[in-house]
Amino acid sequence: MKIGTDITVISRIEKSLDKFGKKFLDRFLDKEEQQLSTKIESIAGYWASKEAISKALGCGIGAELSFFDIKIYKDSKNAPHFRLSPKAQKLHAIKSSSLSISHDGGFAIAVVVLTLAPSSKPL
C-alpha cells in the first residue's frame, strides 16, 4: 500500500489563473477536467490530487509521469477518482485506489491510497 498527500494554498492557484488565464489550466488539466472544476477551490483540489498521486507512485510529476498521464473524474455520487494513461498504467500497475479531495480555510488537500499489483516495479 502506498499513500500520497498534497496541500495547496488556494490563493497561489488563483494568482496563477489570474496571471496566465486558460494557459495555466491547459498546463495541467484536460478539457473535461476543466469543465468539472469551475470553482477555484476545485481547481486547487485537482492540482493537489495530481501531486498526491505522483507522490504515492514515488516519481513526482516529470518525465515518468506528466499531469496529463493522470485523469481526474467524478462518479455518479460526485466522488473523485482517477485513471492513468496507458503508458503510466504499464509503469505503475495499480490494483486499487482511493482519492479524497477537500478544501477549507484557504487550502485544498488531496490524499490518495494505492494498492499496487505484485508485478509493478518496486518504489
Confidence tier at 42 by pLDDT (50, 70, 90): very high
Confidence tier at 117 by pLDDT (50, 70, 90): confident
Tell me if the domain spanning 2-116 has CATH number 3.40.710.10.
no
- At what angle are helices 10-20 and 40-56 packed, to 10 degrees? 110
Which among 47, 4, 51 has a CA at the least distance from the CA of 29? Answer: 47
- Please tell me whether the overall predicted TM-score, pTM, comes out greater than 0.85 for this model: yes
> Which pLDDT tens digit goes with each residue over 2-12?
999 999 999 99
**103 carries an active-site annotation:** yes
Confidence tier at 122 by pLDDT (50, 70, 90): low
**81 carries an active-site annotation:** no
* Separation CA 108–CA 2 (nearest Å): 21
> Which pLDDT tens digit goes with each residue over 23-38?
999 999 999 999 998 8
| Confidence at residue 118, expressed as pLDDT on a 0 to 100 scale | 79
DSSP E strands, 12-106: 70-74, 80-84, 94-104
> Which pLDDT tens digit goes with each residue over 49-105?
999 999 999 999 999 999 999 999 999 999 999 999 999 999 998 999 999 999 999
- Tell me which of 2, 50, 55, 92 is the catalytic residue: 55
| Confidence at residue 75, expressed as pLDDT on a 0 to 100 scale | 95
